[in-house]
Amino acid sequence: MMKISTTSTELRRRGLLRFARTAALVLVAQMSGLAAPGAGAMTESEAGARAVISETVDEVLAVLRDKSVPTEQRIRSLEQIVYGRFDLYVMSRLVLARNWKRFSEEQKAEYVEEFKQYLTNSYGSRIERYDQQEVEIIGEREEPRGDVVIQTKILGGEFDGALIDYRLRKQEAGWRVIDVVIEGISMVSNYRDQFKSIVSTGGPELLLQKLKEKNAAGMVIDKTSAK
Amino acid sequence: MGFCGGDPAPRTRLAALAAIAAALSAGIACAPVSGPRDPSDPWERMNRGTFRFNEGLDRWVIEPVAKGVDFALPDPVERSIAKFFVNSRIPIHFGNALLQFKPVSAVEDLARFLVNSTIGFAGFFDPASHIGLEAHQEDFGQTLGVWGVPAYPYLVLPIFGPSSPRDAVGLAADSFSTVYPWFVPLYVPFAIGVGDRLNWRSLKLDEIASEREAALDYYVAVRNAYLSYRENQVRDQKDEVTDDEDLYYID
């Protein structure tokens, strides 16, 4: 009896301590955030990655603004701009994670192609919804193992204030985007979760089949945006 | 991946309705779950059942009505209404910012409320953002998160949608601590909740339709989005280094 009550007091004390530590940490973070918002010089990596995002944003916005060009052609230009700065190979691989090893060389190549088409179909149709939004680069940070995250914010329109982070990795050809994180929701992580259960039920074949089916169905058109 | 912006669910005391819905959804056969279990979703079988019920409710009731709303009101008006609802919840955000030891956010919230409720015409406009006052939208689910309660297990609530035991408690606590409903008949907060939800849904028509169509597994896509979004809200130190070994290095 004695022993048990000592343990529970001990536990409660530890819980309180942890609670107090959390409180202190959060308070300090709040105060320091007030004092120095994003101070400090940019590293070389951060500057390099930032330049890539800033160019991409400018080029993409230029295409989106020019509504005189037919949609199909604009999607092709966007593909060129975006895929030129994305490392789709790394991205596709990260999405599959451990399952990557279960794919044969041919299946890998096929999967990267299908995944790319799938991304185009999923996001391409949205260009019709562009409504004069702007993109502001609000910060950058270098991660411990050398990747750089560029933080951006959407200004205006439906997603006013939305925060979008781009994660870039240095490749031979330069900085390339390997993930897009919208309000904390990572594209790589989201597709990884979805693809994981498919591969574990039906292997690489089932995932390839499902991607092909989606791609054959064509672009996801906003049926509701008739107005 | 567009489940961002605004509060995840409108909050009113819909307890009675939720209970009916729970009873209904319990009678719906659950989908067989294949593949590995996600550690954050031990109740996947039940959740998929509830999710399917919610999807049905959305397809047959909520989405059609929201389309009507969308047809009647231009988007800028809907966005303005959404701002009004967000503004009306600031007292809750203020209290939660304090409970999370974030005095700066609390003061900023209070200032936003004062500015937007007056020169922002009861919150239909958002001049506070134009003068650099940031919104924080802290709720009690996040407060519990800051105190160390995890966001999982994932739990799909009937009608309310994606949640967790933590966030369900948060939702209840926030609803009960809203003062005005205690002085008005129950149908007033109920109507406000329904109005908020329908208005929000009418803003998300395109977004949700394309997500539904694009996803290979919509249930998993929503689960991942919800858990990541909530975790991000709790963390809310945007400059925090988050090198995620598991996510970005697979060898």
Report chain B residues whose CB lies below 8 A from the CB of A188: 247-248
Q: Is the pLDDT reported for residue B59 higher than 80?
A: yes
Among A22, A125, A194, the residue with its CB nearest the CB of B148 is A22
Predicted confidence at residue A9, as pLDDT, reads 65
Among candidates A94, A115, A98, A106, which has minimal Cα distance to A199?
Answer: A98
Residue B5 lies inside a defined structural domain of this protein: no
Output the CA–CA distances (angstroms, integers) from residue A31 to A34, A36, A194, A201, B210, in the order listed.
Answer: 5, 9, 40, 50, 41
Q: Is the pLDDT reported for residue B130 higher than 90?
A: no
Range(s) of the domain holding residue B174: 40-203
Minimum mean pLDDT among A82-86, B1-5, B84-88, B167-171: which range?
B1-5
Q: Which amino acid is at A68?
A: S
Residue B17 lies inside a defined structural domain of this protein: no
Output the CA–CA distances (angstroms, integers) from residue B167 to A200, B57, B160, B161, in the order listed.
Answer: 30, 22, 11, 11
Residue B11 lies inside a defined structural domain of this protein: no
**Contact state of A159 with B203 under an 8 Å Cβ cutoff:** no
User: Where residue B177 falls among pLDDT bands split at 50, 70, 90?
Assistant: confident
Q: Is the pLDDT reported for residue B43 higher than 60?
A: yes
Task: Let me know how long chain B is.
Answer: 251
Q: How many helices (H) and strands (E) does chain A have?
A: 6, 5
Query: In the structure encoding, which two tokens stand for residue B35, read together?
Result: 């593949």
- pTM reported for the whole predicted model: 0.80
Mean pLDDT of successive 10-residue segments in chain A (227 residues)? 53 66 69 54 89 93 89 90 93 94 95 94 81 89 91 87 93 94 94 93 94 84 44
Among candidates A149, A52, A47, A103, which has minimal Cα distance to B244?
Answer: A149
The rounded radius of gyration (Å) of the Cα atoms in chain A is: 23
Report chain A residues whose CB lies below 8 A from the CB of B217: 194, 197-198
Residue B31 lies inside a defined structural domain of this protein: no
More confident call, B33 vs A171: A171
Predicted confidence at residue B1, as pLDDT, reads 38
Residue B234 lies inside a defined structural domain of this protein: no
Residue B26 lies inside a defined structural domain of this protein: no
CA distance linking residue B251 with residue B245, whole number of Å = 10
Minimum mean pLDDT among A84-88, B85-89, B239-243: which range?
B239-243
Residue A22 burial class via C-beta count within 10 angstroms: exposed 0-12, middle 13-18, buried 19 and up: middle
Q: What is the ipTM of this complex?
A: 0.79
User: Where residue B171 falls among pLDDT bands split at 50, 70, 90?
Assistant: very high
CA distance linking residue A77 with residue A79, whole number of Å = 5
Predicted confidence at residue B207, as pLDDT, reads 86
Query: In the structure encoding, which two tokens stand for residue A97, read together?
Result: 């994670």
Report chain A residues whose CB lies below 8 A from the CB of B210: 122, 125-126, 220, 222
Predicted confidence at residue B13, as pLDDT, reads 41
Share of chain B above pLDDT 70, in %: 81
Number of domains in chain B: 1
Report chain A residues whose CB lies below 8 A from the CB of B214: 121-122, 214, 220
- Spatial neighbors of B31 by CB under 8 A, at least 6 apart, are B45, B48, B49, B52
Q: Taking a contact as any Cβ pair under 8 Å apart, which residues of chain A between 14 and 53 contact chain B?
A: 18-19, 22-23, 26-27, 29-31, 33-34, 38
Minimum mean pLDDT among A40-49, B93-102, B146-155, B160-169: which range?
A40-49
More confident call, B102 vs A221: B102
**Contact state of B216 with A163 under an 8 Å Cβ cutoff:** no
Among candidates A54, A74, A79, which has minimal Cα distance to A64?
Answer: A74
Task: Give the pairing type, strands A185-186 and B155-157.
Answer: unpaired
Predicted confidence at residue B175, as pLDDT, reads 86
Residue B133 lies inside a defined structural domain of this protein: yes
Calculate the average pLDDT of chain B: 83
> Does residue A15 contact residue A114 with C-beta atoms inside 8 Å?
no
More confident call, A14 vs B40: B40
Q: Is the pLDDT reported for residue B25 higher than 70?
A: no
